[in-house]
A and B are shown apart, each in its own frame.
Chain A
């Protein structure tokens, strides 16, 4: 049981790190500000979610595990809205 939880953590955290890697590659290689914003927001948010998921089995208490989920939802919410705002600012800057 413990080994299974550990395996799950390892899988989730590795996947999360891979998405961070992908996000940074996108940040470096995409041609345009808007596409870079896309890479940053989507990939990094997913990476954080997977990392938080992987840390849940190791949480000290149910409240800590709940906080990890709340962290992810909060970052998702603010990341989604902020990327809209940044996108608008980028588009207006073009004019």
Chain B
């Protein structure tokens, strides 16, 4: 199969080309579009590396949500037209940043190229431990995330909540408790509303399917939650709904539900199965799916709140 290396080379060249464009683009909009394109291409690369779960997460979070976050932030800063000359970073600063980035990249490249053959890996150990914890899941990645490394996963979700709190605290004191600014300022536009009305239900169904199938096939809570978040943002961007007030009860419960259920299950494991975060072997899969369901809820609530931004004062 001599076609495969050629394909890989073309793909790698494309990724590098898009990356160079993203860094050297003159305007913020162009570089964010380049960044989103780069993320989608990276998802492709992950598929070539036989990692469909990572591909989906990269596309959903690394390119989709982060791209929208960048463009929304740039819009808020008003940085889309060329900034005032004195606000631009100086040439020395840019050079330093470039040199540091190049150093990190070459260090990573050197490490990969100098790996012994076969490279050392924790994968067999993790897979064995995940099986041994009685997980009984068909997808080893989900087993590792939710059983072998469950504490890490729970802490990640707590970090997400902290990020939302951080974003909310940027708002002014007077605005605390009100809703963030709508994601679209203009009047609703019919084709966009149509697309949102068609896309959001289908997308929500697909997101829940991807979450549910993550127990046995590529997928999982994070990917499903990120897609669900994207669908909610689609309805907000089409002006079908508006961002909720940040002091609403359901929003805060939704945000905290995931890590809370996770923590309670971990503590219950102490009592029921003898160790923190241990699952009783016969019940492991249902418990994991139960926890993951709440994690999907939390992620789907947290990511749009990050994009929506701090609460803003309404003129009324």
- On A, residues with C-beta under 8 Å from B are 74, 77-78, 81-82, 84-85, 88
Contact = CB atoms under 8 A, between A and B. Distances in A.
Interface residues of B, number: 8
Nearest to A73: B202
Interface stretch (B46-54, B171-179, B192-200, B295-303): B192-200
Contact of A84 (B191, B198, B199, B202): B191
A77 B189 contact: no
Interface string B174-211: 00000000000000010110110011001000000000
A74 B199 CA distance: 8
Q: Which of A78, A81, A82 has the most CB of B within 10 A?
A: A81
Contacts of B198: 77, 81
B202 A81 contact: no
B192 A85 contact: yes
| Majority secondary structure of chain A interface residues (helix, strand, loop or mixed) | helix
A77 B199 contact: yes
Contacts of A84: 191
Interface of B: 189, 191-192, 194-195, 198-199, 202
The 9 A-B pairs at the shortest CB distance, nearest first, are namely A81-B195, A84-B191, A81-B191, A77-B198, A85-B191, A85-B192, A81-B194, A78-B199, A78-B195
A82 B195 contact: yes
B152 to A, nearest CB: 31
B42 to A, nearest CB: 20
A74 B192 contact: no
Given A77-B199, A85-B191, A88-B189, 9 more contacts: A74-B199, A77-B195, A77-B198, A78-B195, A81-B191, A81-B192, A81-B194, A82-B195, A88-B191
Contacts of B195: 77-78, 81-82, 85
Contact of A74 (B189, B191, B194, B202): B202
A75 B150 CA distance: 36
20 contacts: A74-B199, A74-B202, A77-B195, A77-B198, A77-B199, A78-B195, A78-B199, A81-B191, A81-B192, A81-B194, A81-B195, A81-B198, A82-B195, A84-B191, A85-B189, A85-B191, A85-B192, A85-B195, A88-B189, A88-B191
